[in-house]
Amino acid sequence: MIRTTLAAALIAAVSCNVALAKDAHKDTIVFGATVGDHADMFKAAVKPTLEKEGYKVKVIEFTDYIRPNLALAQHDLDVNEFQHKPYLDQFKQAHNLKLTNVQQSPTAPMGLYAGRKSSLKDIADGDSISLPNDPSNEARALLLAQDLGLIKMDKKVNPLTVSPKNIAENPHHIKFVELEAAQLPRSRQDVDFALVPGNYATSSGMALTSAINLEHNRRYINWVVVRTSDVNKPWVKDVEAAYNAPIFKKWVHQHFKGYLLPDSWSK
């Protein structure tokens, strides 16, 4: 009877997706993300899964794109999630960091939002458009502006590193105003239009559906990133599994409509 009861308990635990063991060499996972949806979705629907597996989870939020990778490399974090791969590749090369992307995460696409004007039909010579000043997201914003027919970039330049100086055609003589990404939402009334990364839009209360236009380029989907030396450790696999868990998928579908979703979710 005792053996039967124990077996039944074990079967019930497995059927409820309760982990029977965590990484024996890892007690605490320190996660870092930029303020807004990246941190919010982790705290709401990833952190609880890891805690049920027996991990202690600490979340550190950042207001810039520089410190999260440096903190990860310096072992102040175990994992971060805030960036797309072009930015990661560029940053780790510039700073000689050994970091590796391991799992895609739901991503709010960049969008063109209204400032003083609400329609591109009203664009006039000399209008201003704000955009993020970090190199990777600035290039991304300019490519979206090109897709909208506002400008044409120099075809000889790497599209991942273009800047306003690489604009080949600017028929409306648009003035591009470079700002910190976090300043873009609250500075919209100072410009005619704003190109805003999705996480900063949503964290400021801007609905993705309010954008004049949203990008659809999956090159810019975000990734969960760890130190290269940790890639194959069991706790990293547990983090990846938490980002693919049914509870996380359900929560994202309910709270983050319009987001680009991980490729692994369609497999």
What crossing angle do the helices spanning 246-255 and 37-45 adopt, rounded to 10°? 140
**Residue at 167 is within a domain:** yes
Could you tell me if 92 and 142 lie in one domain? no
**Residue at 115 is within a domain:** yes
**Residue at 148 is within a domain:** yes
Could you tell me if 129 and 210 lie in one domain? yes
Could you tell me if 103 and 225 lie in one domain? yes
**Residue at 1 is within a domain:** no
Could you tell me if 121 and 60 lie in one domain? no
Q: What is the CATH number of the domain that holds 180?
A: 3.40.190.10
- Return per-residue pLDDT of the chain as tens, 267 residues: 444 343 444 334 333 444 446 899 999 999 999 888 889 999 999 999 999 999 999 999 998 889 999 999 999 999 999 999 988 998 999 999 999 999 999 999 999 999 999 999 999 999 999 999 988 789 999 999 999 999 999 999 888 889 999 999 999 999 999 999 999 999 999 999 999 998 789 888 898 889 999 988 888 899 999 999 999 999 999 999 999 999 999 999 999 888 999 999 997
**Residue at 66 is within a domain:** yes
**Residue at 209 is within a domain:** yes
Q: Which of 142, 224, 212 is nearest to 176 (CA)?
A: 142
So what's the pLDDT on residue 13? 39
**Residue at 45 is within a domain:** yes
Residue 136: both structure tokens together = 């990777």
Could you tell me if 188 and 212 lie in one domain? yes
Total domains in the fold of the chain: 2
Could you tell me if 161 and 80 lie in one domain? no
Could you tell me if 100 and 227 lie in one domain? yes
Helix spans in the chain (H): 2-15, 37-45, 47-52, 67-73, 85-95, 135-147, 198-203, 234-243, 246-255
For 159, the domain range is 111-216
**Residue at 239 is within a domain:** yes
Let me know: does 228 contact 99? Beta carbons within 8 Å.
yes
Could you tell me if 115 and 211 lie in one domain? yes
Could you tell me if 115 and 183 lie in one domain? yes
Could you tell me if 116 and 103 lie in one domain? no
So what's the pLDDT on residue 17? 45
Let me know: does 225 contact 84? Beta carbons within 8 Å.
no
Could you tell me if 188 and 238 lie in one domain? no
